[in-house]
Amino acid sequence: MISGIPLSDVLLVSGGLFVIGLAGALLRRNAITIFLSIELMMNGANLALLGYGAALHSLEGQIVVFFVIAIAAAEASVGLAIFVALFRHTETIDVNEIHLLKW
């Protein structure tokens, strides 16, 4: 119970966000949309961290989420640079068309 919000609500929303992100990462074929889905999964994990941090009266959850957001920023910049370089080579970012390293 965090100031009137039961922890089960927080965990359910966090799990829902994670599953929606997983669905997007598995089903979509556009590399940018897959990347966005991964960001969504990270946000689901962040919500669970903050929920437990608030329930345990601890600030460490917020510290971990701070690190996750900073690493997500670094990851997004490198990933998008890869997509730009890939698009220059192959003229597409459809992951069905990019199969150089795939069997």
51-90 residues in contact with another protein (CB under 8 A) are 51, 53-63, 65-67, 69-78, 80-85, 87-88
CB of 41 to another protein, least distance (A): 10
Rule CB under 8 A: is residue 101 a binding residue for another protein?
no
CB of 101 to another protein, least distance (A): 16
Nearer to another protein, 28 or 98 (CB): 28
Question: Do the beta carbons of residue 14 and residue 44 sit within 8 Å?
Answer: yes
What six digits make up the tokens of 54? 């608030």
C-alpha distance from residue 58 to each of 35, 46, 69, 70 (Å): 31, 15, 19, 20
